[in-house]
Structure 1
Amino acid sequence: MPFGPTGEVFYQQQGYEGPIGRNVRDTAQLLSTLAGFDARVPMSLESDPAQFAGALDIETRGMKVAWLGNFNGYLPMEEGVLPLCESAFGRFDDIGCSVEAVDMQYPMEELWQTWLTMRHFLIAGIAKGLYADEAKRALMKPEAIWEIEGGMKLSAMDVYAGSKARSAWYQALNKLFETYDLVTLPSAQVFPFDAETHWPKAIAGKSMDSYHRWREVVIPGTLSGCPVANVPVGFDAKGRPMGIQLIGPAKQDLKVLQIAHAYEQASGLTAKKPALV
Structure 2
Amino acid sequence: MDLNRASAKDILDSLSNRQLSAVELMRATLDRIAEVNGPLNAIVALREEGALMEEARAADAALTRGSLHGLPIAVKDLVHVAGIASTQGSPLFKDHVPQTDDLLAARLRAAGAILIGKTNTPEFGLGSHTFNPVYGATRNPYDTAKSCGGSSGGAAVALATGMLSLADGSDMMGSLRNPAAWNNVYGFRPTWGRVPSEPAGDSYLHQLSTLGPMARSPEDIGLLLDVMSGPDPRMPLSTEVVAVSPVQTADLTGMRIGWLGDWGGAFPHEPGILELCRDALRVFEGNGARVETLEPPFDADLIWDSWITLRSWSVATGLEPLARDKAVLKDTAQWELERGLSFSAMGVHRASVIRSDWHRRAAEIFADYDALVLPAAQVWPFEIETPYPTKIEEQGMDTYHRWMQVVTPVSLLGLPCLGAPAGFGANGLPMGLQLFGPRGSDAKILSMGAAYHAETHWPQKRPAM
TM-score range, shorter chain: over 0.9
The structural deviation recorded for 1:55 is 4.1
1:95 aligns with 2:284: no
The structural deviation recorded for 1:152 is 1.6
Task: Specify the structure having the higher radius of gyration (Cα).
Answer: 2
Quick one: distance in 1 between partners of 2:329 and 2:446? Answer: 38
The structural deviation recorded for 1:153 is 1.5
What whole-Å deviation, never above 9, does each CA across 1:12-49 have from its counterpart, x for those lacking one?
A: 2111111001111111110010111211111111123x
Quick one: distance in 1 between partners of 2:378 and 2:278? Answer: 14
The equivalent residue for 1:266 is 455
Quick one: distance in 2 between partners of 1:220 and 1:121? Answer: 18
**Of 153, 168, 173, which aligns to 2:362?**
173
TM-score, L = length of structure 2: 0.57
Contact 1:120/1:151 (8 A) holds in 2: yes
The equivalent residue for 1:137 is 326
What whole-Å deviation, never above 9, does each CA across 1:198-233 have from its counterpart, x for those lacking one?
A: 101110111111110010111111011110001111
The equivalent residue for 1:222 is 411
Quick one: distance in 2 between partners of 1:172 and 1:164? Answer: 13
What is the correspondence of 1:64-75 to structure 2 with a 5 Å cutoff? Answer: 64-75=256-267
The structural deviation recorded for 1:61 is 0.5
1:11 aligns with 2:205: yes
**Aligned residues: percent identity?**
37
Higher relative contact order (CA 8 A, sep 6+): 1
Amino acid at match of 1:112: W
Secondary structure in 1 matching 2:208: coil
* Consecutive unaligned residues in structure 1, runs of 5 or more: none
Secondary structure in 2 matching 1:96: coil
Quick one: distance in 1 between partners of 2:377 and 2:297? Answer: 21
The structural deviation recorded for 1:242 is 0.6
The structural deviation recorded for 1:11 is 1.6
Secondary structure in 1 matching 2:215: coil
The equivalent residue for 1:161 is 350
The equivalent residue for 1:119 is 311
Quick one: distance in 1 between partners of 2:322 and 2:257? Answer: 45
Contact 1:143/1:211 (8 A) holds in 2: yes
Contact 2:316/2:340 (8 A) holds in 1: yes
What is the correspondence of 1:36-55 to structure 2 with a 5 Å cutoff? Answer: 36-48=230-242, 51-55=243-247
Contact 2:218/2:247 (8 A) holds in 1: no
Paired positions, count: 271
Quick one: distance in 1 between partners of 2:311 and 2:202? Answer: 14
Quick one: distance in 1 between partners of 2:232 and 2:452? Answer: 32
**Range 24-33 or range 121-130, more displaced:** 121-130
The structural deviation recorded for 1:268 is 2.8
The structural deviation recorded for 1:3 is 2.8
The structural deviation recorded for 1:106 is 1.9
The structural deviation recorded for 1:274 is 7.2
Secondary structure in 1 matching 2:214: coil
Quick one: distance in 2 between partners of 1:137 and 1:95? Answer: 53
Secondary structure in 1 matching 2:213: coil
* Consecutive unaligned residues in structure 2, runs of 5 or more: 1-192
Distance 1:80 1:42, change over 3 A: same
